[in-house]
Amino acid sequence: MTDLARTRTGGFPIGVRRGWGAWQRDLPAYLEWVRRQRLSHVDLGNDAGTIIEKVGASGVEIGAVDLPRWKELLSGDPGLRRAAIDEAGACIEGCAAAGVKVFMTIMLPEDPTRPREENFDHMILSYSALVPVLEEAGAAIAIEGWPGPGALCCSPETLRALFLEIPSEAIGINFDPSHLLRLQIDPIRFLEEFANRVRHVHAKDTEWMPERAYEFGIDQPATFSAPHRFGGHSWRYTIPGHGHMRWTEALLRLHAAGYAGRLSIELEDEDFHGSESSEQRGIVLSRDFLLGC
């Protein structure tokens, strides 16, 4: 494809993470739509092994692929961990042979009720075992800091500890400012510390609502009010530009740190979900905003 979408600052390719809407399940039609929007790439979930050849044949590049069996990689059962390591290694080798170099993961433990330090140790064992496969393939892990039940590596605390235990450059970060904003961690300060570890970027934002934070607080659910879709009672995920992220400043810092990867629009915004037309509009608006950043 020619004239692909890129950010104004840094010239980073703009693509999209494939979602779960019915229109996105029709793979040929979806990829053709991606091409028409000049999006440079598509990120795939854990079904990549079954469709990677079809995506490659379409001319659309693959930005990242989800690593399989996230939770089992942090299992307390050595047998489950070993099986998950083997499957993840096979995924890395197979996808890397097709040109994929970035593998997404979230550090979700199989048992979030275990002590966090114990799940951290399981994480170190599993991902240390994947380092030789990643380095041989010239590939990297990109850890997304989604703060799910018991999740690790969502904040500087455990990321620092992880990089001390596994210094390999093959273990990196998916910079998703929406999660940092949700956790009230400054994304720009985060890049000051970790920009050299960024291997992939999710273009997604977060809106905080001070009046609702006053009404409900931030640590408890509301009693009589429903939370936002793709959010909580006092915050919600949005498309880039509809939240509080300072995107141009972040791109400047990534460029200065030598980041040479991609931005992938991840559509999780209640204002742009529920129909093919609204989801497509959300992606197009995201692309157009990022073009000007």
pLDDT digits (tens, 9 = 90+) for 167-218: 999 999 999 999 999 999 999 999 999 999 999 999 999 999 999 999 999 8
**Tokens representing 143?**
């850890």
Q: Is residue 57 domain-resident?
A: yes
User: Which residues does residue 237 pair with via DSSP β-bridges, in sequence order?
Assistant: 206
Whether the per-residue pLDDT at 141 is higher than 90: the answer is: yes
The domain tally of the chain equals: 1
Distance from C-alpha of 119 to C-alpha of 270, rounded to nearest angstrom: 33
Q: Is residue 287 domain-resident?
A: no
Query: How does 15-41 read in b/e, with b if 16+ C-beta sit within 10 Å?
Result: bbbbbebeebeeeeebbebbeebebbb
* Closest among 129, 68, 55, 134 to 98, alpha carbons compared: 55
Q: Is residue 199 domain-resident?
A: yes
Which burial class, exposed, middle or buried, applies to 104 when counting CB atoms under 10 A from its CB (0-12, 13-18, 19+)?
buried
Parent domain of 36: 14-203+238-270
Whether the per-residue pLDDT at 133 is higher than 90: the answer is: yes
Enclosing H/E stretch for 61: strand 61-66
Whether the per-residue pLDDT at 220 is higher than 80: the answer is: yes
What CATH number should be reported for the domain holding residue 50? Answer: 3.20.20.150
Q: Is residue 81 domain-resident?
A: yes
Whether the per-residue pLDDT at 52 is higher than 60: the answer is: yes
Between 124 and 218, where is the model more confident?
A: 124
The whole-model pTM stands at 0.96
Q: Are 141 and 172 in contact (CB under 8 A)?
A: yes
Confidence of residue 219 (pLDDT cuts 50, 70, 90): confident
Q: Is residue 216 domain-resident?
A: no
Query: How does 201-218 read in b/e, with b if 16+ C-beta sit within 10 Å?
Result: bbbbbbbbbeebeeebee
What integer pLDDT is reported at residue 2 of this predicted model? 62
Average pLDDT over residues 32-47: 95
Average pLDDT over residues 271-282: 96
**Tokens representing 90?**
């096979």
Per-chain mean pLDDT for the chain: 96
Average pLDDT over residues 139-167: 98
Distance from C-alpha of 263 to C-alpha of 287, rounded to nearest angstrom: 10
Average pLDDT over residues 247-276: 97
* Pairing assessment for the beta strands 140-144 and 61-66 based on DSSP bridges: unpaired
Q: Is residue 7 domain-resident?
A: no
What integer pLDDT is reported at residue 75 of this predicted model? 98
**Other CB atoms within 10 A of residue 55 CB:** 22
Q: Is residue 167 domain-resident?
A: yes
Distance from C-alpha of 253 to C-alpha of 237, rounded to nearest angstrom: 23
Enclosing H/E stretch for 206: strand 205-208
Is residue 93 left, alpha or beta, with left meaning phi > 0 and alpha meaning psi from -120 to 50? Answer: alpha
- Please count the CA atoms within 13 angstroms of the CA of 91 that sit on its side-chain side: 28
Q: Is residue 230 domain-resident?
A: no
What integer pLDDT is reported at residue 46 of this predicted model? 87
Q: Are 153 and 194 in contact (CB under 8 A)?
A: no
Average pLDDT over residues 97-101: 94
